[in-house]
Amino acid sequence: MQTLVIGADHAGFEMKEKVKTYLEAKGFSLMDKGTYSADSVDYPDFAHAVAREMENDKTKTGILLCGSANGVAITANKHAHIRAAVCWTEEIAKLARQHNNANIICIPARFVNEAGAEKMLDVFLTTDFEGGRHARRVEKIEC
């Protein structure tokens, strides 16, 4: 089973803990890069930690959570080989994998519920990149 790298700021902490339990029950191995409480923190610290881990081991998949998911996505996407996608529905999660070969799902914890997050994770973690015309486009992303 693949290793998942997970991180969140204070706004995503509670949901991070819930999805960790859900994913561990499904047999996934998780590397938790924090935060470890609901105390106010700076989201870039955790987005960078997840992205750095994935830069060092490209076989891993990432999960980031914050209030809107925008901050963690913007931060993670500064790293080479990272394609972090903000997802708020199952369809967006599926397209992020199929068309963009996203390797980090960013979940807006203030705008989705636990069941929605679990469904998005199921889709994201089981959907393959389609390649083809999408591969050409993905190859053009990095600067």
Q: Is the pLDDT of residue 1 over 80?
A: no
Q: pLDDT per residue over 52-63, tens digit each?
A: 999 988 889 999
Catalytic option among 48, 66, 87, 106: 66
Q: pLDDT per residue over 58-81, tens digit each?
A: 889 999 999 999 999 999 999 999
Average pLDDT over residues 83-87: 98
CB neighbours of residue 64 within 10 Å: 31
Catalytic option among 48, 79, 87, 99: 99
Closest to 54 (Cα-Cα) out of 99, 105, 119: 105
Q: Phi-psi region for residue 57, left (φ > 0), alpha (ψ -120 to 50) or beta?
A: beta
Selecting from 3.40.1400.10, 3.30.870.10, 3.40.190.10, 3.30.70.890, what CATH number does the domain 3-139 have? 3.40.1400.10
pTM of the model: 0.96
The more confident residue out of 57 and 120 is 120
Is 99 part of the annotated catalytic residue set? yes
Is 66 part of the annotated catalytic residue set? yes
Average pLDDT over residues 133-139: 92
Q: Please state the domain extents for the chain.
A: 3-139
